[in-house]
Each structure stands twice: as structure tokens, then as C-alpha cells.
């Protein structure tokens, strides 16, 4: 019996991770929507290329096919697009890419959406699919939702919420057969649960940022700062934007999401202010200082917010120090440290902190100060 065909729309880390799970159970093709190329994945390729970064770096051509053919023949289309817009524009970009998928979706197929939505966002997606295809979701077309997030459960237990009832889903490809744990007929509940988790994380971080900034202004002591890095809040900006855009202006949920996004902007200013304090406390001249923004953000993840925030932070720092560089754990240590300058390293993830500590230890003759971009803003 031939394996079912699966098309993963989006050459992203999230899409590739799921493709690697499915490659033994299905004929998997991954679509690079930017280049409009579709490539077959084989188990051997996945075993030797653990990440999409390795796959892209190898520049392999694996059974290239027309995107339209791949999407129309697929029993399941995994929607994991690579978005490079931010804030409201990213929501528009996601909608445009879903329309591209809908142009070629065929009767009897299932669309599995990995991109988080706000409350009611999946209803909008299903309406778009029905309009573009002329197929009724739950009858001739199936739709499932499994939001990929930084706090997502382990790969061994991927939960999906399915629009169709369990009885109707028997006419489509078996999601359980792919190792998913599926619930039927309650996508709205999954949206609310996801929104609850996002708002819980972001609201608490936003409160810490604002209180720590206020204590700084008042020169007061406040012990509520934590070791949660700016990366954790920046990673969820798309999710907050989706939640905010799904509700009417004036609804409390929009205020919660909007406040958390505003706090990220304040977080950046908070980091810049702390960096200026480091220069003042150590009596460093701007011309003799190099600032390193150490942020190992995944360049192939669906969301662009971490990359955009790292760029935004670097630009703000250049208002005070000319020599500002964005680096990550893949950077060459020899390119980081200048023996004629004092290096101030702003670390934005735990991984970067461990890496920079090792770099500092290896270059004892050079002056390196580490500033942890957490709400507590510790120095090392």
C-alpha cells in the first residue's frame, strides 16, 4: 500500500521538525515558498541533516517538483510558513500565504496549521479555505490546528485540534496514524488555551519589566526581577499580535496583549539604559568600547520577531556606541574581542550566556563585561 503524501508548506524549523517525524510514515515533500521550489525528503536525508539549517547549507537538490502539483496531490498540507514581516504586517503576510495554499488544496485533503492564531483566527482561516477552494471544511476538506510555540510540549506528543467530528474525520487521512494526539470539534477551545498560556507568560514578564524600570528611575531596590531573558518575550510577539487583532478594540484581552508588546519596546530601552550605566560605571569611552548583542535566534523559524528585535536593539545602541555587532554562538571568538577595546556583551538567551562566559574565560587578557538581558539585568 503506497504511503500517503504530505506537503510541508514552509522551509522552516517548525515545518522541518514535523517533516522529520513523518518521513518514515509518508512521502514527504517540503516547499520553499520563497523560491517556489518543492523538494522530496528521504529518511536518509533527515538522519544526516538534523536541522533545516544543515539542509539549506548543503544546497541539495532533492527531486524538485512544481509547488502546485505537490499541494494538489497531498493528503495533508502542513502550513508552516516563513514570515519575515513583523507586527500587523506579519498577520497580513500569513493570510496571503494561506491563500496560496488554498489555490491548490484538493478535495479530501487535510490542512494542518502550525501557525498560532488569535481567538476565532481558525474560523477565519477555514472561511478563507472554503472561499478559495469551494470545498466545505469538515465535509470535503479537513482542517486541524497545532500551534508551534517556544513553550510547546515535546515532539513525542504533538496535539492537534480538528475542525471535523471524529466520525467525519474518518474520510480523511488518519492523524493518529501519523502519531498525533487529536481532539475533534473544539478548535475554539484550543485557541483559548493557547492564548491563555501566551498571555500568562507575557503579562508576568511585562509586569517585571515595568516594575524594574520604575525602580531604576526611582533608584529604589526591588527584588522581583527574574532570570527570564528578553528572548522569551520577543519570541511571542507574533502570537500577541494575532491575539490582539482577533478581538474588538476595547476588549480587555486586547489591552493585555497590547501592554505586553509595549513592554518589549520598553525592555529594549531598559537594556540600552543599563548598557549606558555600564559605560559610565566603568568609565569607558564610546570610541574605546565594542558592544556585542549576543542573540542566537533561529533564522529559519516561522516568526521573524526575535531577529527583528535583535536588529532594533542594535540600532538603538548605535546611538551611543558606534561599534555594535550582532553575534551568536556560531560566531568566531577571534572576531568578537578587540584587545584595544573593552567589550560589553549583552546576552539575550541562556545559551548565549554560557557561550560568552566561556569566551571571556578564554580571553583573560581582554576586557569583557557581560550584561544579562533579563528583567533583573545582572552583570558578570
Q: What are phi and psi of 329, to 5 degrees?
A: -65, -15
Whether the Cβ atoms of residue 349 and residue 229 lie closer than 8 Å to each other: yes
Residue indicated by cell numbers 492564531: 117
pLDDT at 62: 63
Domain 5-185: CATH superfamily is NAD(P)-binding Rossmann-like Domain (3.40.50.720)
Spatial separation of the C-alpha atoms in residues 179 and 174, rounded to whole Å: 9
Query: What pLDDT was estimated at residue 154?
Result: 47
Domain ranges (residues) in the chain: 5-185, 192-372
The distance of Cα 348 from the centroid of its chain, to the nearest Å, equals: 15
Which residues neighbour 131 within 8 Å (Cβ) at sequence distance 6 or greater?
A: 102
Cell numbers for 151, please give them. 513553550
Instruction: Quote the pLDDT of residue 378.
Output: 87
Q: Which residues contact 315 (CB under 8 A, 6 or more apart)?
A: none
**Which residues have C-beta within 8 Å of that of residue 229, sequence separation ≥ 6?**
347, 348, 349, 350, 372, 373, 374
Q: Which residue has 544579562 as its cell numbers?
A: 372
Query: Which cell numbers in the block locate residue 313?
Result: 536593539
Predicted TM-score of the model (pTM)? 0.94
Give the per-residue pLDDT at 355: 95
Tell me the pLDDT of the chain (380 aa) as tens digits.
Answer: 789 999 999 999 999 999 999 999 999 999 999 999 999 999 999 999 999 999 988 866 566 899 999 999 999 999 999 999 999 999 999 999 999 999 999 999 999 999 999 999 999 999 999 999 999 999 999 999 999 987 654 455 678 999 989 999 999 999 999 999 999 988 999 999 999 999 999 999 999 999 988 888 888 877 666 789 999 999 999 999 999 998 877 788 999 999 999 999 999 999 999 999 999 999 999 999 999 999 999 999 999 999 999 999 999 999 999 999 999 999 988 778 888 899 999 999 999 999 999 999 888 778 999 999 999 888 88
Q: What angle do CA 139, 110, 14 make, to 5 degrees?
A: 155
The residue behind cell 502570537 is 239
Q: Are 198 and 214 in contact (CB under 8 A)?
A: no
Q: Which set of grid coordinates corresponds to residue 111?
A: 490542512
Do the first three CATH levels of 5-185 and 192-372 match, i.e. the same topology? yes
DSSP structure string for 13-71? HHHHHHHHHHTTTSEEEEEETTTTEEEEE-HHHHHH--SHHHHHHHT---S-B-HHHHH
How many angstroms separate the CA atoms of 193 and 166, rounded?
21
Q: From residue 235, give the alpha-carbon distance in Å to each of 31, 68, 295, 327, 330.
A: 24, 32, 12, 18, 20
Q: Which of 111, 119, 138 is nearest to 10 (CA)?
A: 111
- Burial classification of residue 153, based on how many CB atoms lie within 10 Å of its CB (0-12 exposed, 13-18 middle, 19 or more buried): exposed
165 secondary structure, DSSP code = -
Mention the CATH class of domain 192-372.
alpha beta
C-alpha cell, 358: 566561556
pLDDT of residue 153: 44
- Look at the chain and count its residues: 380
Q: What is the pLDDT of residue 270?
A: 94
Amino acid at each position: 500500500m503506497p504511503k500517503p503524501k504530505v506537503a510541508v508548506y514552509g522551509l522552516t524549523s517548525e515545518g522541518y521538525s514535523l517533516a522529520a517525524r513523518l518521513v518514515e510514515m509518508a512521502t514527504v515533500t517540503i516547499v520553499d515558498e520563497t523560491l517556489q521550489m518543492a523538494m522530496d525528503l528521504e529518511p536518509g536525508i533527515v538522519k544526516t541533516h538534523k536541522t533545516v539549517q544543515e539542509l539549506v547549507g548543503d544546497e541539495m537538490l532533492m527531486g524538485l517538483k512544481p509547488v502546485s502539483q505537490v499541494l494538489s496531490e497531498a493528503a495533508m498540507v502542513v502550513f508552516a510558513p516563513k514570515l519575515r514581516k513583523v507586527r500587523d504586517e506579519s498577520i497580513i503576510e500569513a493570510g496571503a500565504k494561506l491563500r496560496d495554499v488554498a489555490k491548490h488544496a484538493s478535495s479530501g485533503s487535510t490542512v494542518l496549521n502550525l501557525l498560532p492564531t488569535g481567538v476565532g483566527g481558525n474560523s477565519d482561516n477555514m472561511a478563507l479555505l472554503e472561499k478559495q477552494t469551494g470545498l466545505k471544511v469538515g465535509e470535503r476538506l479537513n482542517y486541524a490546528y497545532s500551534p508551534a510555540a517556544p513553550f510547546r510540549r515535546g515532539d513525542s506528543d504533538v496535539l492537534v485540534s480538528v475542525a471535523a467530528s471524529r466520525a467525519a474525520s474518518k474520510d480523511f487521512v488518519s492523524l493518529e496514524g501519523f502519531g498525533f494526539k487529536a481532539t475533534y470539534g473544539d478548535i475554539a477551545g484550543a485557541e483559548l488555551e493557547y492564548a491563555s498560556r501566551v498571555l500568562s507568560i507575557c503579562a508576568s514578564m511585562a509586569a517585571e519589566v515595568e516594575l524594574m524600570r520604575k525602580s531604576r528611575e526611582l533608584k529604589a531596590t526591588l527584588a522581583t526581577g527574574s532570570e527570564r531573558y528578553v528572548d522569551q518575550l520577543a519570541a511571542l510577539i507574533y502570537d500577541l499580535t494575532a491575539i490582539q487583532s482577533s478581538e474588538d478594540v476595547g476588549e480587555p484581552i486586547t489591552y493585555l496583549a497590547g501592554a505586553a508588546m509595549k513592554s518589549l519596546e520598553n525592555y529594549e530601552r531598559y537594556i540600552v539604559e543599563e548598557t549606558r550605566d555600564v559605560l559610565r560605571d566603568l568609565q569607558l569611552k564610546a570610541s574605546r568600547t565594542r558592544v556585542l548583542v549576543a542573540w542566537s535566534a533561529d533564522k529559519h523559524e516561522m516568526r521573524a520577531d526575535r531577529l527583528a528585535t535583535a536588529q532594533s536593539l542594535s540600532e538603538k545602541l548605535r546611538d551611543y556606541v558606534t561599534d555594535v555587532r550582532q553575534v551568536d554562538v556560531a560566531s568566531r571568538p577571534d572576531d568578537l574581542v578587540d584587545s584595544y577595546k573593552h567589550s560589553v556583551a549583552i546576552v539575550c538567551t541562556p545559551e548565549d550566556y554560557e557561550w560568552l562566559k566561556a569566551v571571556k574565560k578564554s580571553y583573560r587578557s581582554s576586557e569583557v563585561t557581560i550584561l544579562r538581558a533579563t528583567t533583573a539585568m545582572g552583570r558578570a
